[in-house]
Chain A
């Protein structure tokens, strides 16, 4: 199968949906000719024109407001917020307007709106450009939160997000844009709200988010040589989360580890641990463990940053502690 980068896969999803549906348009800072800060939308303004690839003023609340308004008035906007760290500037409109508008109108209106952004660290981007803030948004009823880990998933999930009639926060990972993987040429969708078992195993369930999925898969390879069979699950949609797939896996393995780049306290791992404890505590043969970022700002220097963010070795040593030898 043909290989695309994660960046190209996102771009292809955007292109296909804009071709398919003329009410889809994009807006954001420098997304037209410049192609966006991470060049995801490069070339699309040549193809679709700057009326449907709208460069905006540097104003995140303005972008969110414009996207919400356009969705109310019958279009399907895809807004780019350059960094999830900057989404704080738009978060009132996302939380108090987009997430509640359908409810406040008694369910009479649809808000088909995608906010694309990217988060995560590992590239020396410093404390204000490296955060993973997905748990904030997952906390809000009315929002859907999606975090793809592969080019294939990114394309199929983004197409589904654009076709969904609800506000979706689509969080890419800056460290994955150059990552290559197979993406078929034919049209396909990946349903929102469904997790995927990325690797099967019987000894330990690792639920990993976004880029951590790749680290978990790498760890699984290493641990296999030690006789530990790891099952890796990528929830893909953070909200609403596919609890069933995770619970069935934990029922099988009896052990659960959660890996994410967000800080540990009140990260989405806390929610996963909580629902497994509520609904599947009898499945567990060991305490649930979380491998997550330390509760500190993400540092600038790479050495310090790697001390703060979860690493391959952290997953491996945690797994060794969780699964008894022999």
Chain B
């Protein structure tokens, strides 16, 4: 379906929010923020072009590289930043960190650190929706690497068997850690082909063309909500940084390749150029928007730094089990 201009602009704003958040979180990491950071810079178009077509009650499961996925769904900068800084004001009270953030008030059910394991869980969430006769869509993000796991097979198999309302979105950023997907998947044209094995519809799009993603996503979300059963949407994209910020990402990729994706094929710049061309935005407006987002990010960092860490007593009280105390005797 054709996407109205105001939606395209909405997608652009979301992408900008994601990009600037990711840049700021990298800067914070360098200033001493704890943990691993898996940057999704370069992959913003996919989640931002899907989120505007979801309803508030729809579920989301994502991955260790999931900041953009949850920002696109409305997760707040300050509460993510606080979580990244292991503060109690974070979405998970500082107990999850970057890799496991869930924002339950937004039906963001969490990111998984074991690649692929969210896929069968997403099918279970959708199973519950179906059993309760809700018209909820579950969106499950995964990567190219996850499509190699048994989880992908079992999760799609379940969704197919029970005709579950799940939109599986494979963000093919081309590298599972350091290995290009064609190393193991070279017999396929793309990874959406994998869906055929389950009799599930698979669609592959240019994941760096936000409008192309949106044109497909708007229809797929509608179909899934109306009971079509699961669908696999692949967006082919590129991870500009290394696997995590400790990996320069240059030992297994040519500099020229990275530069091509970073500059010519950058999804944010591409959409901006289109908006300019179609007179949907002005340079001035763009600059003001950037400033506003940056201000919000500065506030978020301030909020995170000013927040306190959860006390050890509170962190371990009723968090391991619901209603069962745990022994706190190390010696």
Contact = CB atoms under 8 A, between A and B. Distances in A.
A65 B104 contact: no
A61 interface: yes
Contact of A240 (B109, B123, B162, B324): B324
Q: Which among A92, A93, A105, A166 has the highest number of chain B CB atoms within 10 Å?
A: A105
A70 B158 contact: no
A164 B100 CA distance: 25
Contacts of B114: 92, 96-97
B195 to A, nearest CB: 16
Number of chain B interface residues as a range: 35 or more
B319 A59 contact: no
Given A66-B124, A101-B110, 8 more contacts: A61-B120, A69-B120, A70-B128, A97-B117, A103-B95, A166-B321, A166-B322, A240-B324
Given A72-B121, A73-B59, A105-B104, A66 B94 contact: no
B123 A69 contact: yes
A25 B128 CA distance: 10
A17 interface: no
Interface stretch (B10-18, B148-156, B185-193): B148-156
A57 interface: yes
Nearest to A60: B154
B147 to A, nearest CB: 15
A68 B121 contact: yes
Contact of B150 (A61, A67, A142, A193): A61
A107 B125 contact: no
Given A93-B117, A166-B321, A240-B324, A105 B122 contact: no
Interface in B78-103: 90-96, 100, 102
B122 A62 contact: no
A147 B102 CA distance: 33
B151 A72 contact: no
Contacts of B96: 104-106
A103 B323 CA distance: 13
A115 to B, nearest CB: 13
B123 A102 contact: no
B324 A65 contact: no
A101 to B, nearest CB: 7
Contact of B319 (A64, A106, A111): A106
A57 B161 contact: yes
Sorted nearest first, the 6 A-B pairs with minimum C-beta distance are A69-B124, A65-B120, A106-B93, A73-B128, A62-B154, A107-B319
B157 A59 contact: yes
B119 interface: yes
A96 B112 CA distance: 9
Contacts of A301: none
Contacts of A67: 124
B308 interface: no
A73 B129 contact: yes
Contacts of A295: none
Contacts of A103: 95, 319-320
A106 B114 CA distance: 19
B72 interface: no
A192 to B, nearest CB: 8
B151 A61 contact: yes
A69 B93 contact: no
A9 B129 CA distance: 31
Contact of B109 (A54, A57, A72): A72
Contact of B112 (A61, A62, A97, A105): A97
B64 to A, nearest CB: 12
A16 interface: no
